[in-house]
Structure 1
Amino acid sequence: MEALNRFDLDLVDKVIEEERPLNAMEVEIDADCGNVIARRQPTASDLRLVMASSKAITNLERAGDEARKSAKRTRRIAKDEAGKIINTAEIRLSGQMATAILHRALDAFARLDVITAARIVREDETIDAQYRAFMR
């Protein structure tokens, strides 16, 4: 979001470049989860944690994909003079909200706090709606 706020093409390139290792990490962690299941035969509660970890890393990787897409859009917008009239205050606010939600979601996961996680899902729907409205 910062790259779009400043129309910073160097930062755009950095976001795109840093997304690639996330894909490899997701594959590695998912394989590790599979190995834990196969070799350790976890109990039901442990199995749920392993599966939740696998889903969480997939979602984090997907967030990286979305950051990469946003960076590519930012490059196109920054090169277009009409893009300079975009209201970056709304973008900045949405970015701050999304970052705060991500931090809270990771904290809720680490604490295994299901109630906070459910609240975060509802808040995330609001962020998604704002993002869709902006990208039209």
Structure 2
Amino acid sequence: MPNNKIGGHYSQAYDEELQQAVDRLVDMGGLVLQQLRDSMAAFTTADVVLAKQVKKGDRQVNSFEVDIDEHCLDILARRQPAATDLRLVLSVLKSINDVERIGDQAKRIAKTLLKDEQGSRPSAEQLAELNGMSAKVQLMLQHALLAFQQIDADKALNVLREDKAIDDDYSRIMQQSLSAMMHDSQQISVSLQISNVAKALERVGDHSRNICQHAIFLSKGRNVAHLNDDELQQIVEKKRD
């Protein structure tokens, strides 16, 4: 979807190059989101074939990152962007790193199954807990990519707040896993699997949060890394002079 906040230059080709950078980021995000869905489906159903496909698909994610990186570097070299254009290119470069890391977490989930495919399996209740957390994570990633695509600081701020529910799920699942290991040594293998998947999902939430921060930086021109939600809200709500 073309972004009407990108453009207005003397060169239509330049406008298209900037738009392509954002579009390719969103496409890469879509690929990674599918990787995440497939990895969770593989883990939930013990589908070794699908898990291997996810692991293999990580190469495509890496290729995507290299392609976008080269596209952005080409813009920097030839166009020498300034102000908003420079922020856009830098934000895309930062965001593709987070998207690639999300792809790594999807691979991590797939490898969790592959490392112990003949071992004990989590219960239906435990899998339901993980899938509930995964659904929130996937939605957060979708919303983060949309906020970036639309350069919408308000949407990005709303998405940032979704991370609290994910952190709460992570804490609960980890506590349950630790308790299970302490009370039954036979649960150690299963608990380690659950902990590994939950940690991967928690990291996806963190990287989605980073993408939102990049969107706010792009929209507001302020570096918002390491700020809390209240500080972010003040920046988002502040109008330009």
TM-score band by shorter chain is 0.7 to 0.9
Q: Equivalences for 1:34-53 in 2 at 5 Å?
A: 34-53=73-92
TM-score by length of 1: 0.87
Indicate the residue corresponding to 2:117 in structure 1. Answer: 78
1:120 maps to which residue?
A: 159
Q: TM-score, normalised by structure 2?
A: 0.52
| SS, match of residue 81 in structure 2 | coil
Q: Is the 8 A contact 1:98 1:127 kept in 2?
A: yes
Alignment partner, residue 95 of structure 1 = 134
Of structures 1 and 2, the larger Rg is shown by 2
Per-residue CA shift, 1:94-131, capped at 9, x if unaligned?
A: 11111111111111111101122123233235425634
Q: Does 1:56 align with 2:115?
A: no
RMSD of Structure 2 on Structure 1 (CA): 1.9
CA 1:77–1:85 in structure 2 vs 1: closer, same or farther (change >3 Å)? farther
Count of equivalent residues: 135
Q: Which amino acid aligns with 1:96?
A: A
Moved more, 125-134 or 85-94: 125-134
CA distance in structure 1 between the partners assigned to 2:66 and 2:94 by the alignment: 12
1:122–1:50 distance in 2 versus 1, CA, 3 Å: same
| Structure number having the greater helix percentage | 1
- What does residue 135 of structure 1 align with? 195
Q: Detail structure 1 runs of 4+ shifted over 4 Å in the superposition.
A: none
Change (3 A) 1:62 1:34: same
Residue identity (%): 35
Deviations 1:9-64 (A, max 9, x none): 11101110111111121122112111111110112101111111111111111110
RCO higher in structure (CA 8 A, sep ≥6): 1
Partner in structure 2 of residue 20 of structure 1: 59
